[in-house]
Chains A and B, each alone.
Chain A
Amino acid sequence: MHTTTCRTAKAIGTILCRWFLLLAVFTAICETVQAAPYRPASADVVLETLPAGTATLRTLRQNQIAASSGKSVSLDDAMLIARRYIELGQTQSDPRYYGYAEAALQPWWNQPGPAALRVMRARILQFRHQFLAALAELEPALQTDQFNGDAWLLFAVIEQVQGNVSAARAACLKLIPITDPLVGSTCVASVGAMSGKSEKSAALLQSALQQATAADASTRIWAWTTLGEIQARRGLNNDAEAAFKQALAITPDDVYALAAYADLLLQTQRAAEVMTLLGTHRQADALLLRLAIAAMLTHDAEAGALRDALAQRFSEARERGDEAHLREQARFTLELDHDAATALNLAQKNWKVQHEAADAELLLAAALAAQQPQAAQPVLDWLKSTGIEDVRAAELVKRLDAGVKP
């Protein structure tokens, strides 16, 4: 009797011990402290750091309002302010500034206006991925001002994002006589590579880059990154890497070049290097996405936290009804959440808006993971009609075919 009691007591003790251990583990993992509103401890606590240039812009705006002395601000003054805001929005990657720019242009927002005003509105609309509305601004602008390089470039880029290769090429050709040769060449090459002329396009870019040592930094980064992407799609990974490194040598924290380089590393099973490349660049969502994928692949301790941070950004965007991030969201759902069905749905939605090689690859990968080869049909048709060279897409197509015929 006595021994039985002892044994029972011991068993209960062991069970309790295990429970405490489990609880301890839970407490350790459970670091997500629910944030609650608080009262800062002292007056010196810095609560928020405003972006650089806030004070200057404020002064500019106030001066303008003062100068107009009660009358409404003139269109020229409003465009000056809007231009500054758009500039800030672009360099600081901050969507608020596009809103301020729109507000500055509010009295003229729904009026036809001069070409420069239309181009500005197009830029704001394009930023929000309202591509058709942006094109509708650019078309009349280009009719009145055929030598507007900004407008042609924006036009070419939007047509290209939408996969309209011939319209994009026509716009690029318009750019050649009116801009820096490297701008025209990069535009033409980038479109050419989407229509089965990868090798020629790469050669064009290489020679243009050799001759254009004087071109400004942003053009050269664009050209090198475009070259890198073309080479990567051709499967020339070493050439692609060299090109991305050239781009990053000009500006080491260029978001687009970093993202393209990280994609190359991820595709060539070099996730550990992505951790180093992007370790300090997590503010940009596109980079955070690649960092989170790399962390997952390398079993990094931070993987879960990175995934959660991204999920929160997507959920905030969804709450406000923002659908501009479909590509990233689809990739997140596919590669980090492994939810093939939802990812396919998102990739299909994204395909309705955007038709670039990356969008095509994404839809192929999602269709493959969800085992729904028929969902990839629009992409297969597009690949065939454009004749784009893309080893990664070709590999996915091969695997889809293999899946169809067991």
Chain B
Amino acid sequence: MCFLRHRFGLWLIVASALLFGANAQAHKPSDSYLSLHAEGGQNDVQGQWDIALRDLDLLLTLDANADNNITWGELSPREKEIETYVFAHLQISADDIACAITPGELLVDSHSDGTYAVLKFSAHCAAPPNSLSVHYGLLFDLDPSHRGLLNLSAGAITQSAVFAPDQAQITFDLAASSLWRQLLQYIVEGIWHIWLGFDHILFLISLLLPAVLIRERGRWIAAPRLGAAVGHVIGVVTAFTVAHSLTLSLAVLGVISLPSRLVESLIAFSVVLAALNNVWPLVTRRAWLIAFFFGLIHGFGFASALNDLGLPKQALALSLFGFNVGVEIGQLAIVSVVVPLAFLLRRTGFYRRGVLVAGSLLIALVALGWLIERAFNISLFAQL
């Protein structure tokens, strides 16, 4: 009986089986972060390796005075020793010829589970690598659950991989063929995002519906020529595009970040306003201003969608560009369906009352529902 009580906390046996939180507190399993960067036509591969101080302590006993604290004074004098040890456990070769690793400066950085030593290095290869092989063997003998998380960027392509005891060697093909594939993938994601995100579509449609009409003395009259309508549409679409591209880029690059609930609520709010503006027109001539202002907000929404896709850090520009192009293609597809239809129907009472007024009211109502849901974090539609 006593074995249960003394050797293992019994409650812990049960709790750890039931609840990962009882296992994985602020602690997480041991990971190191290795990033490699190869530039086309260059012999050298630049690298950075973040290794947890706890792990280095396990390997090399950094805590010299055994007070359970690792200070910079204990770490920095060991720089050479650390470099010798860790780089003996990392081999990089270009087209089967080993590259010589030269360590750079030792720095530190914080990760979510503690402080890491940051080892910058460069690997000098005999020729610009076409295929790059990495062999990783750090810590596996002392902690088989250790993983090496590799992020490899070559030009605009980023690849990631995980080193484990049963996968210690990985070879990458650096040929540029996958560049186009990756771009295409983000374009498709962009198109899907605008088509699946009804809030963006409804916002755009709300702004486009009155484009085929002209407001004069408090009444709508049909735009005489397609040219006038197209001019209006171009203004709205361009303003929307410029604005959301701006904030999308700023948000993805980490220059600005807004809480997603605020963004999502403001997007819903923008749809309500744009739709109500068709019923009780306040802004008629400068609809592009609305498009621009709220386009800034929609850009943040695109950014969070793009971030959710898991952005390759090194191919940020490429994915940003691809996603944006996709969004514009998706948007133009909607415009090219909505505008001609609206132009054909613009003289009918059905269009002015049924589509413009009733349709906009309906859009406003739906968007109001979103606004309430998002602002107060409740779910209206799921319970209907």
Contact = CB atoms under 8 A, between A and B. Distances in A.
B10 A95 contact: no
A43 B74 CA distance: 8
Interface string A43-82: 1111111111011001000000000000000000000000
Given A38-B107, A91-B9, A150-B8, A50 B146 contact: no
A87 B27 contact: no
Contacts of B12: 90-91, 218
A93 interface: yes
B258 A296 contact: no
Task: Say whether chain A's binding surface is mostly helix, strand, loop, or mixed.
Answer: helix
A32 B253 CA distance: 12
B205 to A, nearest CB: 24
A128 to B, nearest CB: 8
A183 interface: yes
B178 to A, nearest CB: 20
Interface string A22-44: 00001001101011111110111
Contact of B73 (A44, A54, A217): A44
A95 B22 contact: no
B225 interface: no
B7 A45 contact: no
Interface of B is mostly: mixed
A150 B4 contact: yes
Interface string A111-129: 0000000000001001111
Given A44-B71, A369-B382, A286 B22 contact: yes
Contact of A161 (B18, B48, B142): B18
Interface in A306-356: 309, 312-313, 316-317, 319-322, 324-325, 327-328, 338, 340, 356
B216 interface: no
Interface string B1-43: 1011101111111111111111111111111000000000000
Nearest to A315: B310
Interface in A265-319: 283-289, 296-297, 304, 309, 312-313, 316-317, 319
B5 to A, nearest CB: 5
Contacts of A217: 11
Interface stretch (B87-95, B112-120, B238-246, B326-334): B112-120
A47 B23 contact: no
Contacts of A324: 20, 23-24
A179 B68 contact: no
Nearest to A371: B382
A153 B259 CA distance: 45
A58 B145 contact: no
A399 B57 CA distance: 54
B335 interface: no
B143 A103 contact: yes
A43 B107 contact: no
Which of B16, B260, B373 is most buried by chain A, counting CB atoms within 10 A of its CB? B16
A297 B377 contact: yes
A103 B53 contact: no
Nearest to B373: A338
Contacts of A284: 21-22, 24-26
Contact of A316 (B4, B11, B66, B112): B112
B4 A153 contact: yes
A286 B334 CA distance: 44
A133 interface: no
Contacts of B53: 47-48
Given A55-B68, A95-B24, A150 B3 contact: yes
B27 A46 contact: no
A34 B253 CA distance: 10
A406 B5 CA distance: 55
A45 B53 CA distance: 14
B280 interface: no
Contact of A46 (B7, B15, B71, B255): B71
Nearest to A40: B72
A151 B171 CA distance: 43
Contact of A40 (B13, B21, B108): B108
B145 A37 contact: no
Nearest to A337: B260
A161 B69 contact: no
Nearest to B71: A46
B269 to A, nearest CB: 15
B75 to A, nearest CB: 6
A93 B27 contact: yes
Contacts of A325: 20, 24
Contacts of B61: 58
Contacts of A86: 8
Interface string B64-85: 0010111111011000000000
Interface stretch (A199-207, A251-259, A385-393): A251-259
Q: Find the residue from B19, B71, B120, B147 having the highest chain A CB count within 10 A.
A: B19
A317 B71 CA distance: 28
A316 B33 CA distance: 11
A241 interface: no
A221 B109 CA distance: 39
A99 interface: yes
Contacts of A340: 382
B30 A96 contact: yes
A180 B73 contact: no
A254 B11 contact: yes
A43 B71 contact: yes
B254 interface: yes
Nearest to A154: B13
Contacts of A377: none
Contacts of A108: none
Given A93-B22, A218-B5, 10 more contacts: A43-B76, A45-B71, A95-B29, A95-B145, A102-B145, A103-B141, A150-B8, A157-B14, A286-B19, A327-B20
Interface of B: 1, 3-5, 7-31, 48, 53-54, 57-58, 61, 63, 66, 68-73, 75-76, 105, 107-110, 112, 114-115, 118, 120, 141-147, 149, 160, 162, 254-261, 373, 377, 379, 382-383
13 contacts: A29-B257, A37-B109, A50-B57, A55-B63, A92-B25, A150-B13, A218-B10, A256-B14, A256-B18, A256-B22, A284-B24, A284-B25, A338-B373
